[in-house]
Structure 1
Amino acid sequence: MTRRTENLAGRALMAAFCLAVLVPFAGIVLAALHPPGSVVPGLSWPQHPTLESFTRAWSDAGFGGLLRNSAVIALGVVPLALVCASLAGYAFATMTFRGRKVLFGFLMLGLALPYEAAVVPLYYDLRAIGLTDTPLALILALTGLFMPFGAFWMREQFLALPKEMTEAASIDGAGSWTVLWRVLLPCSRPALITLGLLYFLWAWNQFLLSLILIQNPAGRTAPAGLGFFVGAHNIDVPLLSAATLIVIGPVVAVYLFFQRHFIAGMLAGAVKG
């Protein structure tokens, strides 16, 4: 196979992946432009486009409060999880202590074990200390859920950096905290932004934990509220499409804003790792 054929095959494959994502998304957008309660005849432009489905979905589901709750939880999870992941990654990458490999392997089990198995015990533990139906319960649960991947991600990033940097800082009298905050983290900015973006996407899209830990309707997140909205309007396709676009809108906006940083972080990990 020649290089030109390989390039054409790669572009065709990427075009197929793009169509697989864009066509369903276009179908949702076109369906949301139909009037509420109307029949959507497949992938077609409506005869009388309207935003009535968006306004009705917003008012009926109360998406203003739902989006605010999701934002509070996501913005609480991201910084806390980033700090914990950076500290754990730094310890496993640069420090030598007894049981380091065993402890790291035990932490990595979190990537393999389904978190659904811990939902019920987690609920009773948080209820025992009075944290259920509060944003703090979901923030702490998601931070712990994201720790295995975050620790692995930051550990690999720190290991990929030249050891001469930390050695030179140590010779100049820098302590562990100084090496971490002044040397390693500034060099790992693309990886941190990428990890923070992943945390935001995962925290925003979390459904099961938010459904179990926050049962008060006033404290529901946007995905959980969308689930109840779907149950109440399961045959109104334009209304459901509009509600779906409202929920995923902030996620798409954040991703597009940080797109370059996200790609830079992924490529840096691929090249160095």
Structure 2
Amino acid sequence: MTTRIARSLAAPAVLAVFLAAVLLPFLSLLLASLQPAGAPLTGLAVPHGIHLENFAHAWSAAGFGTLLRSSTVIALAVVPAAVLCATLAGYALATMEVPGRGRLYGYLLLGLSIPTEVTVIPLYYDLRAAGLTNTVPGLALAEVGAFMPFGVFWMRAHFATMPRSLIEAARLDGASSWTTLWRVLMPVSRPAVTTLGVLYFVWSWNQFLLPLILIQDPDRRTAPAGLGFFTGQYGVDVPLLAAATLIVIAPVVLVYLIFQRHFINGVLSGALKG
């Protein structure tokens, strides 16, 4: 009986620890952002009053209106294109007899082990030779390429677990590969695709190094890159920095909250199938 009670209490205790580990940083940021501007802070401190002017000051000083618009444009260009390419490649590698697909898949997986820092300098010179530096299409193409290895791995694993009888039945009915993908497999693949789309949005929104190197125009910087420059100017004003950080991460949290059910279903489905 004692062992059973201990086991029943262990799971909530572990969950509480993980919940605290996730929420405490956000709580610390929120409390810091509500402190008076320029106030010295050490650890968690409850503010004496709510100073929402920190958000207004950070918004105007960093120009977050332009930065967030630029990040949104890039994310809207990257996410659909990357999800489409990853879906088509994963479907082909999982269900078709593509010549050399094993080697091609292994080559794509190498991208998971190569850090962006290694490729950013050659990438910069290649894009500059093509006239694509300091442009949204150039940055979008770079991010799509950087995201492909994981996306192909994710979608190939998903399509590989689909019942072969479902695909064979569609082909016996005369369905082409294109029809099989979009009419048969995609309706049941929405959790996996949505999960990949949410991950791509988070990665694109949080991307710092590529925009910093490939975009020099201040009007085209993304929100994380703009936050980096803002930190250099207001590095000693912790409440202002906390307010700016919350502004930058708010869209990511909002997107996750909107798609959290599909995201969780996709992750659990992948874990169970794996």
TM-score clears 0.5: yes
Quick check: 1:140 aligned with 2:133? no
**Superposed displacement of residue 124, structure 1:** 0.6
Match of 2:41 in 1: 40
Aligned residues between the structures? 273
2:34/2:50 contact within 8 Å kept? yes
What per-residue deviation string (whole Å, max 9, x for no partner) do you get for residues 6-61 of structure 1? 34222211111111121121111011011211223531221121111100000000
- What is the alpha-carbon distance in structure 2 between the residues aligned to residue 248 and residue 103 of structure 1? 36
2:33/2:242 contact within 8 Å kept? yes
Quick check: 1:206 aligned with 2:207? yes
2:92/2:98 contact within 8 Å kept? no
Q: What is the CA RMSD across the aligned residues, in angstroms?
A: 1.2
Match of 2:79 in 1: 78
Letter in 1 for 2:187: P
Match of 1:152 in 2: 153
Match of 1:49 in 2: 50
What per-residue deviation string (whole Å, max 9, x for no partner) do you get for residues 206-241 of structure 1? 000010000111100000000000000000000000
* Cα pair distance change 1:216/1:168, threshold 3 Å: same
2:67/2:226 contact within 8 Å kept? yes
Quick check: 1:251 aligned with 2:252? yes
- What is the alpha-carbon distance in structure 1 between the residues aligned to residue 65 and residue 28 of structure 2? 25
Quick check: 1:238 aligned with 2:250? no
- What is the alpha-carbon distance in structure 2 between the residues aligned to residue 60 and residue 50 of structure 1? 16
- What is the alpha-carbon distance in structure 2 between the residues aligned to residue 82 and residue 228 of structure 1? 31
What per-residue deviation string (whole Å, max 9, x for no partner) do you get for residues 114-166 of structure 1? 12111001001101111111111111011011111111111111111111111
Match of 1:10 in 2: 11
Taking structure 2 as the reference length, the TM-score comes to 0.97
Taking structure 1 as the reference length, the TM-score comes to 0.97
Letter in 2 for 1:18: L
- What is the alpha-carbon distance in structure 2 between the residues aligned to residue 2 and residue 155 of structure 1? 43
- What is the alpha-carbon distance in structure 2 between the residues aligned to residue 130 and residue 146 of structure 1? 22
- What is the alpha-carbon distance in structure 2 between the residues aligned to residue 216 and residue 29 of structure 1? 31
- What is the alpha-carbon distance in structure 2 between the residues aligned to residue 37 and residue 251 of structure 1? 27
Match of 1:61 in 2: 62
- What is the alpha-carbon distance in structure 2 between the residues aligned to residue 42 and residue 149 of structure 1? 37
